[in-house]
Amino acid sequence: MPAADPWIRPEPGGAPRWGHREGLSVGLPPLLGPRGLLRVYAPYLGHEPERMVNYVAVEPRPRRRWRRGFSELERSRLDDDQGLRLWTGEDGPDPGTVAEVDGVATLTVLVHCERFANGAEVDVRVRFRADRPHEVELAAAARPGSAPLASCVLTATMGNYARLRTLRLADGPVGAGQLWPRHRGRRFTRRARFGLDRLPRDADGCAVVAVTGDEPDPAAAVYAPGVAAHWHWHGLPAEQAWVVPDPHPRLVAAVNGRVTYWASDAPIPGGVAFENVEVVEPYRPLRPLRFRVEPR
């Protein structure tokens, strides 16, 4: 693409990555990381260009069923590997569509997800706005032939990397250590849930589910010998947030935590930290959620 192009877009046969050239971007497998997850990159925090700041999983639940789908954890029925397949174009990555929406330049690409074991078939529209360089809008929709959906959760799954420990609420912050003071072992905590009345609103009336670390300089942390190098935080601290326009009255923000890094016994410096941060609402097709990563 020309150097003046403000967007990251895949060349034919190139890496499946889209976003702001000087801001936040999103990638898909086979870029580094587990299958079934959207990769979120924020190199403006001082990260290496290929270092993810977080992942987003797709987790639909059909009506009259309690079983939620898990795009990262389910085994593919296409090749029996863990993690469902995500793709855009049929013959390689779709470069996306550049257009003006509400007077603002945007880049949009539609991500398809393999059918879930619970019968859900979901696409996720990924959209970037030129006036929000540290943000991506994600909107899920059931495809024709899908089981009817009760909800489709988009969950940020790697809060432990940034050691996110403080959730901003309307009546004051709450810390992971307050929610789970006695949690031990390598399992997830129970989810803590907060209704719409507990969430702050921004100037446009959007509900905000914002989490941040509690360390003034997370890059200076001291790690136990068993902590893999890819868990070491580099760069600026940041607030990560779901911004929810037109929130449903039954919206619930949910967080869980861990005291060890994923799939290991290696301790997280400072103790329990949030891992999954999500918004749960009744399903609305192409209901936009905005994920933001802002330097603190």
pLDDT mean across residues, the chain: 96
Residues 77 and 126 in one domain: yes
Residue 233 has pLDDT above 80, yes or no: yes
Please, is 19 exposed, middle or buried when counting C-beta atoms within 10 Å of its C-beta (0-12, 13-18, 19+)?
buried
Segment 61-78 mean pLDDT: 93
Confidence bin at 66 (pLDDT 50/70/90): confident
Segment 126-150 mean pLDDT: 98
Q: How far is it, in rounded angstroms, from Cα 111 to Cα 8?
A: 16
Give pLDDT, residue 2: 45
Residues 276 and 234 in one domain: yes
Segment 42-54 mean pLDDT: 96
Report pLDDT digits (tens) over 274-296.
999 999 999 999 999 999 999 99
Residues 148 and 229 in one domain: no
Residues 137 and 114 in one domain: yes
Last residue of a domain, one of 157, 182, 203: 157
Segment 20-49 mean pLDDT: 97
Residues 111 and 221 in one domain: no
Give pLDDT, residue 64: 85
Residues 21 and 89 in one domain: yes
Q: How far is it, in rounded angstroms, from Cα 155 to Cα 211?
A: 13
Q: How far is it, in rounded angstroms, from Cα 140 to Cα 199?
A: 22
Give pLDDT, residue 4: 75
Q: Which of 254, 285, 282, 164 is nearest to 213 (CA)?
A: 164
Please give the DSSP secondary-structure letter assigned to residue 160. Answer: H
Determine if the pTM surpasses 0.75. yes
Q: Is the peptide bond before 30 cis (omega within 30 degrees of 0)?
A: yes
Residue 40 has pLDDT above 80, yes or no: yes
Residues 177 and 43 in one domain: no
Give pLDDT, residue 257: 98
Lowest-confidence pick of 63-72, 179-188, 221-230: 63-72
Report pLDDT digits (tens) over 71-119.
999 999 999 999 999 999 988 999 999 999 999 999 999 999 999 999 9
Segment 221-228 mean pLDDT: 95
Confidence bin at 246 (pLDDT 50/70/90): very high
Last residue of a domain, one of 157, 186, 205: 157
For residue 16, what are the domain limits?
Answer: 1-157
Residues 7 and 141 in one domain: yes
Q: How far is it, in rounded angstroms, from Cα 108 to Cα 98?
A: 7
Phi/psi of residue 43, each to 5°? Answer: -65, -15
Q: How far is it, in rounded angstroms, from Cα 45 to Cα 296?
A: 10
Angle at Cα 201 formed by Cα 205 and Cα 171, nearest 5°? 150
Using alpha carbons only, how large is the chain's radius of gyration in Å?
A: 18
Segment 138-156 mean pLDDT: 97
Residues 146 and 2 in one domain: yes
Q: Which of 10, 291, 254 is nearest to 124 (CA)?
A: 291
Give pLDDT, residue 33: 96
Last residue of a domain, one of 125, 157, 189: 157
Residues 7 and 67 in one domain: yes
Residues 147 and 235 in one domain: no
The total number of structural domains that make up the chain: 2
Read off the tokens for 13.
Answer: 């046969």
Give pLDDT, residue 1: 45
Residues 144 and 170 in one domain: no
Q: Which of 258, 260, 257 is nearest to 167 (CA)?
A: 257
